[in-house]
Amino acid sequence: MARNRVIYQSEALFVNQEASLTGGYNQLERVQSANYSFTINRQDVNQYGQLGKLDSIIIDAPSVTADLSYYLTDGFNERALGFFCAKDGESTTAGGFVSGLLADGSGVNLIILTTPEGTDADLPARAAGANDSTIGIGNAYVSDYSVEMAVGSLPTVSVSFDALNINSDSDAAAITSPAILQDAGTVIGGNDVKLPDTITGSGDVAALRPGNVTVDISSFDGVPVADIGTDINGAHIQSASLSVPLSRSTLERLGSNSAYARSVDFPVVATLSVSAIMNEVEASNLVDVIADEVEKTITLKLLEEAGGETGVIYTLKGCSLDSESISSSIGSNKTVDLTFSTSVGGPNDSSHGVFMSGASTHPLNAT
């Protein structure tokens, strides 16, 4: 019987740790959206004496992109996507949040499983079968990570990818790897990709509440004009947005129709934007702040319960204040918008960049 439509009930999203591998897939939790597309750039070949084109030739590697969003929980999704999220007592200084994504590699594979209409794709102990289909995105590299926190909404993460290939299979019992051999620009092939039969995430945290989000910018006490840093409970923050861009360059060479690498464009600068209702005015002077500029630390705590240990913590080290904007008008609260930034350091740099810890202790599928 022909399918009438596909809705979220019938889809599940999986990611592995290495594009060249056929195993090691983990199902991402709390996914809210998944979008993917490809673009082929062609150049028409024309000549004098003929109105129509002779041919339309592909002159560079096709562009494959994907983006997804999910509710933030306990760090399991971040670990599955290759980010470093400290757990089990690990020090956050053991690695920066994006330290594992800075070196060149083969990327990861994304698999979108679609089950028959009216069937949950997220049932435990449900093996992918011949009635299921898949869409695979091969050699996917994270190009942007951001998390949005605001009053009245659940903290949400958005992740974007640049990839090299995309394929589809009508039989999920024989899934073809979407990855390619980057040096040769040829498909890996084979029908031996296996998805896990059970949900690998913890599922302990449904979502994190905005009422339990703490943005600690108290280290910036003395910010000019607006006193929002002297007391984290007195800072009436309405929203905060953390962005870690990892824009990448496509490296190509003669003799290959595919990119042989997707390298990160350095330097990488993470930014934090904070919007708050202004309450007090503090004695300060911009000239003095410039003269005594010191890099500081900001902490974002997103917990399931106030004062609890379940959830995630982001720590931004080596931060500087980039801008402050105050807005006031008839009929609305006076607000202040602040932007902070920090440069992402190397794997051994424990004083600059973004660091993360999470409550998730569930092991990832390695094979």
Indicate if the pLDDT at residue 248 is higher than 60: yes
Structure tokens at 7: 């809705």
Structure tokens at 228: 């929002």
Query: Do the Cβ atoms of 207 and 73 come closer than 8 Å?
Result: yes
Using alpha carbons only, how large is the chain's radius of gyration in Å? 23
For the chain, the structural domain boundaries read 10-39+60-358
Pick from 38-42, 183-187, 272-276: least confident: 183-187
Residue position matching structure tokens 């949040």:
97
For the record, the structure tokens of 188 come out as: 């890996």
pLDDT of 123: 62
pLDDT digits over 58-82, tens only?
A: 888 888 999 999 999 999 999 999 9
b/e per residue 275-302 (b: at least 16 CB within 10 A): bbebeeeeeeeeeeeeeeeeebbbbbbb
Q: Residue 222 — very low, low, confident or very high, per pLDDT cuts 50/70/90?
A: low
What's the DSSP call for residue 175?
Answer: B
CA 339 – CA 33 distance, rounded (Å): 28
Question: Over the range 144-174, which residues count as b (16 or more CB within 10 Å of their CB) and which as e?
Answer: bbbbbbbeeebbbbbbbbbbbbbbebeebee
Model pLDDT for residues 168-221, shown as the tens digit of each residue: 998 888 899 999 988 777 888 777 888 887 665 656 788 899 999 999 888 876
Q: What's the whole-model pTM score?
A: 0.90
Share of the chain above pLDDT 90, in %: 46
Angle at 162 between CA 192 and CA 10, to 5 degrees: 55
Average model confidence (pLDDT) across the chain: 85
Q: Tell me the two tokens of residue 147.
A: 């998390």
Between 277 and 124, residue with greater pLDDT? 277
Residue 287 has pLDDT above 90, yes or no: no
Are 163 and 66 contacting, i.e. CB atoms less than 8 angstroms apart? yes
Q: Is the peptide bond between 267 and the residue preceding it cis, with omega within 30 degrees of 0?
A: yes
Please tell me the predicted confidence (pLDDT) of residue 229.
43
In which band, very low, low, confident or very high, does the pLDDT at 230 lie, cut at 50, 70 and 90?
very low
The mean pLDDT of 50-65, rounded to a whole number, is 90
Please check the confidence at residue 160 and state whether its pLDDT lies above 50.
yes
